[in-house]
Amino acid sequence: MADQRADRPAGRVVVAVPWSVDPVTAAGLQGRAGVEVMRGRLDFGRGRWRASAGHAVDAVRAVLRARRADALVLMTVGDEVLVAGLLLRALDVLPRRRRARLVVVDFLLPRSTAGRRLRRFALGRVDRWLCIRSGDRETLARTFDVTPTRTTFLPFPAPPPTVDDPRAATDAPGDAPYVYAAGNAHRDWPLLVAAAPKVRSRIVIMADGGHPALRDPLPDNVFRMDMVAPAAAREIMRAATVVAVPLIDTHLPAGPLVLVDALAAGKPVVATDVNGTRDYVVDGETALTVAPGDHDGLADALNRLLEDHSLAHRLADNARQWAISHLGTSAFVDTVLEEARRHT
């Protein structure tokens, strides 16, 4: 039977986005015809279990909101996809129920594979996976039997550096020069702390203080500050001289949000060469990369960009131009909605 929606205009799409998505991307989605955006609840500063429970509730709300929609898009989600997949499978068996297409953007791969059969059943309800790390496609295929034809790589967008966001007000950590690094997911803080005594600059690390490597005493040139709202963090990043992105080599979700923000802002970047960075930088052209675990190499690369202003400016200019060409919000939104409205 032919798809009855084939002759209809672009169908209604419900997009569930986390609170951390930048205002430009959210507005870009909200401004499209037939699109309803649901913002997730603020989980900044909440405990892990409270945040997880809130995400599950948000997933249920999104499925119910999309019960008369043509498609549901879930952005930057983890095990909430299981909740949504199971609930949609239950609703699909109801008589006269219109099957909503399910698209997942940036799936946060779980650390544990417990309950793999249930996960595969739930994740089998997803029609399309848009991965912001190309390595995630291999992990989805290997771990959850998601065929490559259901996945594609989509670069994560970066907001323009000139966004006027009232959430950006914050106290900067003093004047430059300083190296900026931030995040929690699979950051290799032991690597950066080990490199710090050899780095000829202050290093500002924005991260939760629970990581053993970030507890006092820290090297004299390392200043740790608590996480702040994303817009405020971007302002601190833009005031830095160099941005460091030290990540652990893992198949689990790490990066590239800090990385793409730095590229778009035209900042010189040093990053470890891992799954979370390889899609976004080219060594010697848009950034300097170092091998995972190489603290001497990290220190040397940071010092090069701190002291070789010509190199730093060249990499930063190349990075910004690459970001303009590849990390635009409009193109990202176009692709997400095209996949949501694609006939299955």
Given this model, what pLDDT does residue 4 score?
A: 41
Q: Answer yes or no: same fold for 13-157+328-340 and 166-326.
A: yes
Q: What is the pTM of this model?
A: 0.85
Q: Which residues contact 336 (CB under 8 A, 6 or more apart)?
A: 15, 29, 73, 75, 103, 105, 130, 154
Q: What pLDDT is attached to residue 176?
A: 66
Q: How far, in Å, CA of 200 to CA of 251, rounded?
A: 32
CA distances from 264 to 97, 182, 268 (A): 44, 16, 11
> Span 166-326: which CATH code?
3.40.50.2000
pLDDT confidence of residue 174:
60
Query: How many other C-beta atoms can be found within 10 angstroms of the C-beta atom of residue 96?
Result: 4
**Torsion on CA atoms 232, 238, 241, 245, rounded to nearest 10:** 70
Taking Cα atoms as reference points, which of 244, 233, 157 lies closest to residue 194?
A: 244
Distance between CA atoms of residues 192 and 187, nearest Å: 9
> Domain 13-157+328-340 is of which CATH architecture?
3-Layer(aba) Sandwich (3.40)
Query: What pLDDT does 277 receive?
Result: 95
- Establish whether the linkage from the previous residue to 18 is cis, with ω within 30° of 0: no
Residue 221 carries which DSSP code? Answer: T
State how far the Cα of 142 lies from the Cα of 146, in Å rounded to an integer.
8
Q: Give the integer Cα–Cα distance in Å for 41 and 15.
A: 14
Can you give the residue ranges of every domain in the chain? 13-157+328-340, 166-326
Residue 74 pairs in a beta bridge with 16, 104
Q: From first to last of the 344 residues of the chain, give the pLDDT tens digit.
A: 334 444 344 589 999 988 767 777 888 888 899 999 998 765 555 566 676 787 788 899 999 999 889 999 999 888 889 999 999 999 999 887 788 999 999 998 877 667 788 999 999 999 999 999 999 999 999 999 999 999 999 999 987 665 444 334 445 566 669 999 999 888 999 999 999 999 999 999 999 878 899 998 999 999 999 988 888 898 999 999 999 999 999 888 776 889 999 999 999 999 999 998 999 999 999 999 999 999 999 999 999 999 999 999 999 999 999 999 999 999 999 999 999 998 74
